[in-house]
Structure 1
Amino acid sequence: MNSKQVGDVTEVRILARLIATGYSVAIPYGDNDPYDLLVDTGSSILKVQCKTGWVEGEVIRFKTASKTTCDGQVTMVDYGDKIDAFAVYCESENKYYWVPIDDAGAKSTYLRLAEPAIDHPSVNRASEYTFSSQLPSIGPE
């Protein structure tokens, strides 16, 4: 599959998982928004960017910037405050992760699979970002 097809499969898997968990989910029309899904928690609408994660050594990595081409120049643009979270699917682990934008890096994010040698606040443990541990509550505030 090409990278667009891989992204489409990831988006559909995340969409299905969110719906199965009880969320109402909308898909914006077209490909021009910085988010892939709008997730209704009952008390807010979250703008979510879907990403495909892959294993590199002892981490799951995913890109947190979008590659665009304008006049033949390739640039990387981060999502800044245009989204609320990244929903990540890692096929080799068959796991789903929810990473709030404030916990993500500007270009890439790494979720550590194994316990790190040192305990540091900038270390993101994959176990702390699973859907079951990070998805916002459904219901009124």
Structure 2
Amino acid sequence: MNNSPRQGEKSELAVASELMMQGYGVSFPFGHNHPYDLIVDKDGTLFKIQVKTAKQEQGNRYYIQADANRYETKDVDLLAGYSEAEVATFFIPVDEASGKRQRVTYTDLEKMGSDYNRQSANHISDYLFSEATQRV
């Protein structure tokens, strides 16, 4: 049932709730013909966000299925992945998205075997809302 519209709605509400708890204003667009699911007000700047349910890939790595070619920066600012297992959300600027899967890891940086792994990992610390919006 994870691929159902209900799961998507659950993810949208979880992301909206998390952002509201952080003090941001959150709006839902009226209707279903928008390329984004949420509008978030961060200090007077509005961000359009497309929400996806994140799936576990292996270990502490999660991904969202979001074809980067489908989203343009004029329509969507951020892709948000909500992981119910981690009870956490990550945000990827659309212009950083590439390919069909967007991945983020929750593994502690100290537990990654090498400097190369640490530097090449899409670590959650770089994909929090406050971090990702600085790159939009």
Q: TM-score, normalised by structure 2?
A: 0.78
Bigger radius of gyration: 1
Aligned pairs (5 A) from 1:13-24 = 13-24=14-25
Q: TM-score, normalised by structure 1?
A: 0.76
Q: Note the C-alpha offset of 1:87.
A: 1.9
Hey, what does 1:6 align to over in structure 2? 7
Hey, what does 2:63 align to over in structure 1? 61
1:29-66 residue CA offsets vs partner (Å, 9 max, x unmatched):
11111000011112311101111111111321101239
Instruction: Using the aligned pairs only, state the percent identity.
Output: 31
Q: Note the C-alpha offset of 1:103.
A: 2.4
Tell me, in whole angstroms, the C-alpha distance in 2 between the residues paired with 1:25 and 1:116.
Answer: 39
Q: Which has the higher strand share?
A: 1
What is the aligned counterpart of 1:102 among 84, 95, 102? 95
List alignment gaps of at least 5 residues for structure 1.
Answer: 67-76
Size of the aligned set, in residue pairs, is 126
RMSD: 2.4
Tell me, in whole angstroms, the C-alpha distance in 2 between the residues paired with 1:43 and 1:10.
Answer: 25
Hey, what does 2:127 align to over in structure 1? 129
Comparing both chains, which one has the higher relative contact order based on Cα–Cα distances under 8 Å and sequence gaps of 6 or more? Answer: 1
Tell me, in whole angstroms, the C-alpha distance in 2 between the residues paired with 1:91 and 1:106.
Answer: 23
Q: Which has the higher helix share?
A: 2
